[in-house]
Structure 1
């Protein structure tokens, strides 16, 4: 039987806490966009009426309170989800910050989807590919976190440790 000193026990416990939860998970939980909406909130009730911005020639949807309701059961989960990149930060090694969106062109050519359908992603390592119209898989730890960017309000943040092309 091995006996650990109090100092060894504390050091072992603390070092285990420092390991990202993504390393604990053997396989990420694969989720889709519907999983971001809490159970009992139908997608059809997220978007209400809207108004036309005549100056900028765009349609601005008016979201109800359901648009910012988040699925708290996902907070801290290690997930893998598909989507498309809307780049926010481009560095010499690639995209480091982006919004993961459910369909191509979301936020660019149309009004942004509701906050609970947008994920702010911090990529480490950066995504070096410039094919932003291609679908991707993003894997990492997701958090429920409402925040505003220059493009849209997002409901989730994800620390990505792996990004790859979505294979049909």
Structure 2
């Protein structure tokens, strides 16, 4: 249960933070460039996937730490509908189609896939919380955005967060670090600030 409880705690924390952020300010009004709609990660997830992740099956708490069931793979054979729904949401590539070809502004953390030099990522995954894909299992694919950016994003630390502006596309891309259900054609990158 250690793996699942750690993952659930991290996911709940990230989803709650994103929900609070989404409620705390209006999307378009806060964007410095009104050409881009500022969105929150939670908006990229279909409502029923979000509901499944925020309400995991009660049986999750009954799994012993380190047991065979203490993993996504260990739960895969279960017949319980709530668990099936939860597992499907963890791996969901379902998207919110209204964002396809939308000009958006999205904050996130960079998980490098290709580096131009020691500090500059030119191909990467944008994720909603620090450590996703690196220290923790990856978020659901509909919470990962694939990015290529010739200019690159200079990283002084993996804890650096950025604002990315560009055109969001519904395109699934698989990598060793995770699967992204969205792709962003980047127009600009800036360090994150509230």
Aligned to 2:101: 76
- Unpaired runs of 5+ residues, structure 2, are 1-32, 77-86
- The answer as to whether partners of 2:164 and 2:188 remain within 8 angstroms in 1 is yes
The TM-score, its normalising length taken from structure 2, stands at 0.62
Displacement over 6 Å in runs of 4+: 47-52
Higher helix share: 2
Q: Deviations over 1:135-165 (max 9, x none)?
A: 1101111111122111111110111121111
Equivalent position SS for 2:92: helix
Shift of 1:104: 0.4
Number of equivalent positions? 139
Q: Does residue 118 of the first structure (1) align with residue 118 of the second (2)?
A: no
Q: Is the 8 A contact 2:166 2:186 kept in 1?
A: yes
Q: Does 1:64 align with 2:88?
A: yes
CA contact (8 A) 1:76 1:141 kept: yes
Deviation digits for residues 19-65 of structure 1, max 9, x if unmatched?
Answer: xxxxxx96211011011013x3241315867899x7xxx94476316
Structure 2 residue 43 is matched with structure 1 residue 35:
yes
Alpha-carbon shift at residue 130 of structure 1 (Å): 3.0
Bigger proportion of residues as strand: 1
Aligned to 1:86: 111
| Contiguous gaps of at least 5 residues in structure 1 | 1-24
Gap change, CA 1:76 and 1:60, over 3 Å in 2: same
TM-aligned CA distance change 1:60 to 1:107, over 3 Å: farther
CA spacing shift, 1:60–1:151, aligned 2, 3 Å:
farther
CA distance in structure 2 between the partners assigned to 1:36 and 1:97 by the alignment: 21
